[in-house]
């Protein structure tokens, strides 16, 4: 027989302690006493759905689920890693994570150096290189109001919010399944309009939304009264062929005792760690409060003085002067352990919970080291999805992906090159962060290449040498009277560059053999991939394709009396290949209105 206290039953089913206590007094269910605590045997409560599901739990079997192949995943708004760690434990392979806050990124990188973590504003990330390569995308987006255009509000109405960025990532990547998590208040936010808009946006993206659920963390081996709304959407071409099954709950409700001492979820007592402290006056007040008590346990004069204006307000105010109980799950953790309205005093000592105690309540392992100031650490932990809750949902998702793989088998895609491309582009951005709005402004999109650093690296050697690649081609056949149509490799990179007016003639007639950059050249261009060159003629666009035979460092006006060896330039030795287009095509010069770096295939597909 499994015992559950009155208070824990109330937390489990989402009702008040008083209601459950009435059930016991009135004999609705047989009341039991265990170690001086009133409660019930769970087997006597089978008519309550939550209890019945716990008694029929399939937790152990679900815990043994493993992926049938590597499933690639991307996570946005990763924070301190609660959701990411849970999904990783379930079996997902994270290829990319994004987070805005510097301290949280340091936490992720410290604990999982192999993860590719992009620090910065998600709005500046182009996810298209990962299209078709990622199986699963997830993110806990904030609850924000939308600018509604009408009754049928959808994807475009979410612009300016972080849900829009999650949806944009889905649109660009096209994962098989994606998940969003949020506070349960999202359902009723703006009288339900926000949630309805999100559902419409998901449908517009081509995904089928599984009936959403608010999951109570205490049902999934988490010693905390915390609720999260989970949204899971399956791509339409897959949705009708599979069914998602939500995780079954654990057998019992865990308490704060399970978090702070050796238990089913931890092999040892909580280690000593840094933590906030109370001012002496506050400490004297909270010393009067017993385990599980609050301001109502204080003498009236002390309570009035401590609560100030809140004394006259309505409501239970049960978060004030609150001391936690070892025999109940913790209250929902916030970003600070000692806010007056949401007090979380240690059950035995008169102090706030320490950082490691906070982390244990969120089921982070003791080996997970948080970075930043103490305030940063509390914030990362308080904002996190409990690891064990994420792990349980992750296992259910792995079961879903295993089913998809059995029905629609395919190999795991290599994301390494796509991730390198995304990370490289991000490394070129120069931004100013606004921590209040969690956004950033790009002040300079591209760094300049330092020619002096390049000189130290290459000196007189070529940076790129493509001559050998084409040694089997008779280049004499190209030019004004080609005798054969040269092959063009659409996978190769092409540098498009604006040509100065005084150099246009030799590029117009195809006689050009050399191109000098200006004093500035973007560091975002991968020099080792330089292969083709296309001159951009102002007022016309691009038409002619040249091979970059050699890329090297040189000097302005080298080989002439005006040569200046203090003026380093990037020099491209080029050779005409063919007219790629019948006529000039306009293209956008994305970098300083002077350069564009792409591939031949992408260029052709856009024009």
Long-range contacts of 29-37 (CB under 8 A, 24+ apart): 32/3, 34/3, 34/5, 37/5, 37/6, 37/327
Contacts of 460 by beta carbon, 8 Å cutoff, 6+ apart: none
Q: Which of 182, 44, 71, 189 is nearest to 133 (CA)?
A: 71
* Contact (Cβ atoms closer than 8 angstroms) between residue 67 and residue 131: no
The alpha-carbon radius of gyration of the chain (Å, integer) is 31
Q: How far is the C-alpha of 409 from the C-alpha of 187, rounded, in Å?
A: 36
* Contact (Cβ atoms closer than 8 angstroms) between residue 2 and residue 42: yes
Q: Which of 105, 143, 345, 415 is an active site residue?
A: 143
Q: How far is the C-alpha of 322 from the C-alpha of 314, rounded, in Å?
A: 17
* Contact (Cβ atoms closer than 8 angstroms) between residue 85 and residue 364: yes
Q: How far is the C-alpha of 352 from the C-alpha of 480, rounded, in Å?
A: 81
Chain Cα centroid distance, residue 395: 19
Per-residue three-class SS string for 5-68: EHHHHHHHHCCCHHHHHHHHHCCCCCCEEECCEEEEEHHHHCCCHHHHHHHCCCHHHHHCCCCC
* DSSP3 helix / strand / coil % (the chain, rounded to 5): 35, 20, 45
Burial 241-265 (b: 16+ CB within 10 A, else e): ebebeebbbbebbbbbbbbbeebeb
Q: Which of 582, 487, 599 is nearest to 541 (CA)?
A: 582
Angle of helix 6-13 versus helix 17-25 axis, rounded to 10: 120
Contacts of 229 by beta carbon, 8 Å cutoff, 6+ apart: 181, 182, 183, 184, 186, 187, 212, 213, 214
Alpha helices in 147-234 (DSSP H): 162-173, 193-204
Chain Cα centroid distance, residue 161: 15
Angle of helix 162-173 versus helix 193-204 axis, rounded to 10: 10
Chain Cα centroid distance, residue 330: 27
117-119 and 92-99 beta bridge pairing:
parallel
Long-range contacts of 504-508 (CB under 8 A, 24+ apart): 504/535, 504/537, 504/538, 507/535, 507/537, 507/544, 508/537
Burial 135-147 (b: 16+ CB within 10 A, else e): bbbbbbbebeebe
**Does the annotation mark 415 as catalytic?**
no
Catalytic amino acids? Answer: 143
């Amino acid at each position: 027989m499994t015992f559950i206290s009155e208070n824990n039953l109330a937390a489990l089913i989402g009702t008040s302690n008083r209601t459950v206590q009435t059930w016991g007094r009135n004999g609705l269910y047989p009341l039991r006493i265990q170690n001086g605590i009133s409660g019930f045997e769970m087997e006597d409560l089978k008519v309550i759905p939550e209890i019945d599901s716990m008694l029929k739990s399939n937790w152990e079997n679900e815990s043994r689920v493993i992926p049938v192949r590597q499933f690639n995943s991307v996570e946005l708004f990763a924070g301190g890693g609660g959701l990411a760690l849970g999904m990783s434990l379930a079996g997902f392979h994270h290829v990319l994570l994004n987070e805005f806050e510097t301290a949280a990124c340091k936490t992720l990188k410290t604990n999982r150096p192999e993860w590719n973590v992009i620090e910065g504003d998600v709005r500046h990330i182009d996810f298209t290189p990962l299209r078709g390569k990622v199986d699963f995308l997830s993110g806990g987006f904030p609850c924000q109001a939308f600018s509604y255009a009408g009754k049928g509000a959808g994807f475009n109405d979410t612009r300016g919010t972080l849900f829009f960025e999650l949806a944009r990532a889905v649109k660009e990547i096209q994962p098989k399944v994606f998940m969003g998590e949020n506070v349960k208040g999202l359902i009723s936010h703006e009288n339900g309009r926000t949630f309805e808009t999100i559902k419409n946006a998901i449908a517009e993206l081509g995904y089928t939304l599984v009936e959403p659920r608010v999951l109570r963390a205490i049902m999934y081996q988490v010693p905390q009264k915390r609720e999260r709304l989970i949204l899971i959407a399956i791509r339409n071409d897959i949705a009708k062929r599979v069914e998602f099954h939500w995780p079954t709950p654990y057998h019992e409700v865990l308490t704060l005792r399970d978090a702070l001492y050796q238990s089913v979820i931890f092999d040892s007592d909580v280690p000593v760690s840094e933590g906030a402290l109370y001012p002496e006056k506050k400490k004297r007040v909270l010393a009067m409060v017993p385990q599980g008590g609050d301001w109502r346990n204080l003498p009236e004069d002390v309570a009035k003085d401590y609560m100030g204006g809140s004394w006259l307000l309505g409501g239970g105010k049960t978060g004030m002067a609150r001391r936690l109980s070892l025999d109940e799950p913790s209250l929902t953790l916030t970003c600070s352990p000692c806010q007056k309205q949401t007090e979380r005093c240690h059950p035995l000592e008169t102090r706030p919970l320490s950082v490691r105690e906070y982390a244990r309540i969120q089921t982070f392992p003791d080996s997970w080291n948080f970075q930043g100031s103490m305030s940063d650490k509390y914030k990362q932990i308080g904002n996190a999805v409990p690891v064990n809750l994420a792990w349980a949902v992750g296992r259910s998702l792995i079961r879903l992906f295993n089913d998809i793989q059995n029905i629609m088998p395919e190999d795991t895609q290599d994301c390494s090159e796509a991730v390198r491309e995304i990370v490289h582009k991000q490394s070129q951005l120069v931004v100013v962060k606004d921590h209040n709005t969690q956004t950033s402004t790009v002040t300079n999109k591209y760094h300049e290449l330092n020619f002096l650093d390049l000189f130290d690296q290459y000196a007189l050697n070529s940076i790129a040498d493509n001559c050998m690649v084409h040694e089997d081609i008779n280049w004499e056949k190209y030019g004004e009277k080609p005798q054969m149509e040269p092959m063009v490799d659409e996978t190769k990179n092409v540098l498009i560059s604006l040509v100065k007016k005084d150099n246009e003639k030799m590029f117009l007639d195809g006689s050009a053999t050399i191109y000098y950059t200006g004093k500035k050249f973007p560091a975002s261009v991968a020099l080792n991939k330089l292969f083709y060159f296309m001159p951009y003629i102002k007022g016309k666009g691009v038409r002619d394709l040249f091979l970059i035979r050699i890329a090297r460092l040189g000097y302005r006006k080298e080989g002439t009396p005006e040569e200046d060896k203090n003026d380093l330039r990037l020099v491209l030795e080029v050779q005409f290949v063919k007219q790629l287009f019948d006529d000039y095509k306009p293209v956008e010069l994305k970098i300083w209105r002077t350069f564009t770096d792409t591939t031949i295939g992408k260029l052709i597909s856009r024009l």
